Chain A
Amino acid sequence: MKPVYVKSKGLQDTELHYCPGCSHGIVHKLIAETLEELNIIDTSVLICPVGCGVFAGNYLACDAVEAAHGRAPAVATGIKRTCPDQPVFTYQGDGDLASIGIAEIVHAAMRGEKFTTIFINNGIYGMTGGQMAPTTLIGQKATTAPLGRQKELHGEPIRMCEMLSSLGGLVYAERVCVADVPHIIKAKRAIKKAFTKQLNNEGFTFVEVLAACPTNWAMTTRKANEWVLGPMAEYYPLGVIKEV
């Protein structure tokens, strides 16, 4: 019998610490497959976030460093400028990227730094127990917004793809999700495209993944993925947001 699907060589043999049904694991696999297919496992450098993805370097088979909270794009800038021939990517949650680290990502995109960012938008601070993020939807409950996010009090959620797309240095931004198999296949295509553009030295590339956090959303995995495909995808439209 021939293998149809086996674990990618881009992953280490470590067991993931993520909660059952968490999207982080699925996105890790897509990155691993991309690194393997582009034959860049040994040359790539991952910059890990602070957040649930903090141990991503223990799971992916490439080299990895850990940055201070939100500062992955600054670290990536330094590494990519020093080693321009090596693929460099950051992996960041929405608390990390859109909150404490928003200056770093905006300026990296503005400068057109030639690395890739994989942005995991689960609308909440996962690691610290479900606090409101800048991406939490209006009406969505969080431990710091027990009545749900209110527009008058907290403002409207940030659409990072659209916001960064206004900057000249960004050459590719796509929003995807991994809530079912057809969307996973599309997400893989987007991640591979971003890395390919980086290998062609085109500029800053950005893939936003709408991700499920069943634990902090207090939902079953099925309900959580319905939430991604429903209210989340409605506010955060899927597809290519910018490509030059």
Chain B
Amino acid sequence: MAAKVIFDRDRCKGCELCVDACPVHILALEESTNRKGYHPAGCTDTSKCIGCASCARICPDSVISVYRD
């Protein structure tokens, strides 16, 4: 099953709610900072994404969209 998770990087505030919500533990904060000065969340291994959209559902700032085949 192919799934894709897309981050609107510059809107992320690095709250880590998505990191905690991901059931397959593939989300983490980046080392670099975004336009707001936060460490934004990103996906460390897209191939493991199951497209459950838990990350997108919990994100307060609508940073994440999820697509699936």
Contact = CB atoms under 8 A, between A and B. Distances in A.
13 contacts: A5-B53, A19-B13, A20-B15, A20-B38, A21-B17, A21-B60, A24-B60, A26-B59, A28-B60, A178-B58, A181-B54, A220-B16, A225-B17
Nearest to B11: A15
A2 B62 contact: no
A225 B62 CA distance: 19
A22 interface: yes
A49 B12 CA distance: 25
Interface string B43-65: 00000000111101111111011
Contacts, number: 80
Interface in B16-39: 16-17, 20-21, 38
Interface residues of A, number: 31
B58 A184 contact: yes
B20 A20 contact: no
B58 A22 contact: no
B51 to A, nearest CB: 5
A18 B60 contact: yes
B60 A15 contact: no
Interface string A132-168: 0000000000000000000000000000000000000
A80 interface: no
B64 A5 contact: yes
A177 to B, nearest CB: 12
A59 B3 CA distance: 29
Nearest to A22: B60
Nearest to A6: B65
Tier of interface size on chain B: 20 to 34
B64 A181 contact: no
B60 A3 contact: no
Interface of B: 2-4, 11, 13-17, 20-21, 38, 51-54, 56-62, 64-69
Nearest to A27: B60
Given A21-B17, A222-B16, A4 B60 contact: no
B51 A221 contact: no
Contacts of A25: 59-62
Given A21-B16, A221-B15, A221-B16, A181 B65 contact: no
A218 to B, nearest CB: 15
Residue among A16, A181, A214 with most chain B CB within 10 A? A181
Given A2-B69, A26-B58, A221-B15, 20 more contacts: A1-B2, A1-B4, A1-B69, A2-B67, A3-B66, A4-B51, A4-B68, A5-B66, A11-B62, A15-B11, A18-B60, A20-B13, A20-B15, A23-B60, A25-B61, A25-B62, A26-B59, A214-B15, A221-B20, A222-B16
